[in-house]
Chains A and B, each alone.
Chain A
Amino acid sequence: MTGYEGADLAIALINVILLGLLFVVAIAIARMRSLFAIVMLSGIYSLISATWFVALDAVDVAFTEAAVGAGISTALLLGAMLLTSRTAKPEKRSTAIVPLLVVIAVGCMLVYATIDLPAFGDPDSPANTYVGTAYIERTPQDIGVPNIVTAVLASYRGFDTLGEVGVVFAAALAVILLLGFGERSLSATIGRKDKGGRG
């Protein structure tokens, strides 16, 4: 009696419920007009999807989703909200049809693409036959870091990661300059506050 038996049913149920919650949150985000509520809900969305990644054994993706989705992107979206109004413009029903069609088309394409994916846990899949196994076998001798993802990112593909870090740094710099977290925003906000304070 370790408490682990019957886990399969529980995990299946958990996956279904988490996906259902994600669906509900996505619908709510699409329907809401208050931008603040949308920012909060997108934070909740990334929290729940990170939990779902944990349930799917993708721990590293869950780490990233938690740090970026729930942490930084909430702050950035709030900063962006400073520069705009507080509510979204209501959409006409006729124009809302086009995004719906696009979403349905992309969804159909994705479902079609999943047919070509190898089965879950297939030993002959590309991920398990080529360079992946080599990394798993050689990392303990080559580098000695317990986390293989870290070894791949920081050593085997070190230059690739360096370039990525450069791109991300440039992007972060651009976002910060655009949102103006520095002194320029200070004078701007104080000036705006003096004109008409919102409650």
Chain B
Amino acid sequence: MGYFLGLIVVLGALWLGLSGMFKPLLLTLSVISILISILLAARLNTVDREGVPYARTPNLFLYWGWLVIEIFKANWPVIRACVSADLDINPALVKVKTRCESDLAKTIFANSITLTPGTVTVEVEGDKLLVHALFEESATPDAFTEMDERSWRAADGRQAGKTTQVKA
């Protein structure tokens, strides 16, 4: 039930933010549209811990802040490679092992790797990720351990032992 409440709050905030109107007629229409969205989400069975991860919002935001800084740091070498006179790149395929267990944590980790310029997750199989990197020297397995650790803490963290994972 809490998940539904979280979804309603977020959808309502989204509606208000996009429209900025407070007339009674429009508010009624917004309530109807939110209810329809909730019904559809319930029918799709997406309202669960991983579909609505609001309980760990602070963790995720902390992780996100760290990730944005990391992305900006990783932008430099790619930009330099784009504009340098001779094409100085060294692409490689590497395998990365992750400690993330739940689908949410794995998704966050793989998406973080993809978001960081210079590395793209090509395939996810179990706890191994196939990563294509623009520079082989920057894609050693140690380079991903901090990101792995942080995404695990953001998504799984302390609750990993308590809740049983439902693999979709």
Tell me, yes or no, whether A and B come into direct contact in the complex with CB atoms closer than 8 A: yes
The reply to whether the CB of A196 lies closer than 8 angstroms to some CB of chain B is no
| A146 (CB) vs chain B CBs: closest residue | B21
Give the residues in chain A near B25, CB-CB below 8 Å. 144-145
Give the residues in chain A near B21, CB-CB below 8 Å. 146
Report how far A144 CA is from B23 CA in the complex, Å.
9
Smallest beta-carbon distance A133→chain B, Å: 23
Give the bracket for the number of chain B residues in contact with chain A: under 10
| B24 (CB) vs chain A CBs: closest residue | A144
Contact mask A135-152 → B, CB, 8 Å, 1/0? 000000000111000000
Q: How many residues of A contact B (CB 8 A)?
A: 3
| B19 (CB) vs chain A CBs: closest residue | A146
Smallest beta-carbon distance B155→chain A, Å: 31
| A144 (CB) vs chain B CBs: closest residue | B25
Report how far A146 CA is from B26 CA in the complex, Å.
9
Smallest beta-carbon distance B32→chain A, Å: 14
Smallest beta-carbon distance A153→chain B, Å: 15
Smallest beta-carbon distance A183→chain B, Å: 20
Chain B, range 22-38, C-beta contacts under 8 Å to A: 23, 25-26
Report how far A169 CA is from B21 CA in the complex, Å.
31
Report how far A155 CA is from B26 CA in the complex, Å.
15
Report how far A83 CA is from B23 CA in the complex, Å.
50
| B25 (CB) vs chain A CBs: closest residue | A144
Smallest beta-carbon distance B96→chain A, Å: 29
Report how far A117 CA is from B23 CA in the complex, Å.
39
Smallest beta-carbon distance A171→chain B, Å: 24
Smallest beta-carbon distance A117→chain B, Å: 35
Give the residues in chain B near A144, CB-CB below 8 Å. 23, 25
Report how far A145 CA is from B25 CA in the complex, Å.
8
Contact mask B99-123 → A, CB, 8 Å, 1/0? 0000000000000000000000000
Contact mask B138-157 → A, CB, 8 Å, 1/0? 00000000000000000000
Give the residues in chain B near A145, CB-CB below 8 Å. 25-26
Query: Can you list 5 A-B contacts with CB-CB less than 8 angstroms, sorted by A residue number?
Result: A144-B23, A144-B25, A145-B25, A145-B26, A146-B26
> Using a CB–CB distance below 8 Å, which chain A residues touch chain B?
144-146
